[in-house]
Amino acid sequence: MTSPAQHRTAIVFGGGGVAGIAWELGLVQGLLEAGVPLDDADLVVGTSAGSVVGGLLRFGSVPQSYREQLAPTPSSYEAPLTPDWAGIGGQLAQALRGVRTDDGGQEARARVGRLSMAVTAGQTADERETTFAESFPSGTWPAAPLAVCAVDAVDGSFRVFTEADGVPLTRAIAASCSVPLVWSPVEIGGTPYIDGGARSVTNADVADGYDRVLVIACRQEDPSPTGPWLDVAVSGLAAAGARVEVVVADEASQAAYGDDVLAVASRAPSARAGRAQAEGLAERLTAFWRG
């Protein structure tokens, strides 16, 4: 997949809920239509919503999935009752108070994991995996490299799942999408995992070693004790010699998300907003990707 110029390319898709999946699909669909060859990336990294979009890109399913955002098809997905995001934020802030900062965020992530293991409401892990199987019916991994990010809910260690792990793709994605304090963790090999966003919304540092890295983020990422937030990761990539482009959802796109990024109603407006944003990015990103 390496380009003729032998630049090793990577795309990083960040988390953002149901709205984030739709926005990223709209953005990628618009860029592909404009001739930006994102489907030839040497590596795709996905966290939470980004793991879904990354998988869809790898399987060539973006056009169909984009259309489905505009006219939702029947699905087993059940949105949770509108989460109390302020309350969840308060619980997380309390849990992270006084946490050590010299271990790369592992203890902070373990505290988030412990809170998440108390969640019993909502769809089970198996039910959520069934929902993802609607997009990835075979459960197999794509031929080209895909990395799916999650966090061990017990000890806070960071886990990057790939085909080599022998885990069904749908199970890895379900783990990566297990939003803390919203859904229960997903067990893989007897270990419970939570959303990779418990470390970083993007986990862009997974693309270390690649020459060109495109990061697609559903929102800005604030400094956090749980791991390397986006600015830190981008600085590290650049220091290692990579050229990095970051695309963050614009104001119109973030407004399209609405008040609940896990609501099905957020899909169509978010997808349209992503495609509209792509129109102003295509020329720049084509030059970046091919240059």
105: in domain: no
Give the domain CATH number at 64: 3.40.1090.10
Which element (helix H / strand E) includes 90? helix 85-95
Per-residue model confidence as pLDDT tens digits over 66-122: 999 998 777 888 777 667 778 888 888 888 888 888 888 999 999 999 999 988 878
Residue 84 lies in a domain: no
Which residue, 248, 254, 255, is CA-closest to 281? 248
Q: Is residue 108 part of a domain?
A: no
Residue 16, SS3? coil
CA nearest neighbour of 72 among 31, 136, 22:
22
3-state DSSP call for residue 44?
strand
Is residue 193, in this structure, part of any structural domain at all? yes
Task: Give the end-to-end CA distance of the chain in Å, rounded to a whole number.
Answer: 15
In a domain, 57, yes or no: yes
3-state SS of 148-161 is: EEEEECCCCCEEEE
Is residue 99 situated within a structural domain? no
Count of domains forming the chain: 1
Q: Which domain holds residue 239?
A: 9-71+114-253+271-290
Q: What is the pLDDT of residues 116-155, one digit of tens each?
A: 998 887 889 999 999 999 999 888 999 999 999 999 999 9
Distances (CA, A) of 69 to 16, 21, 52, 257: 15, 9, 13, 13
Residue 98 falls within a domain, yes or no? no
Is 1 inside a domain boundary?
no
Structure tokens at 19: 């709205």
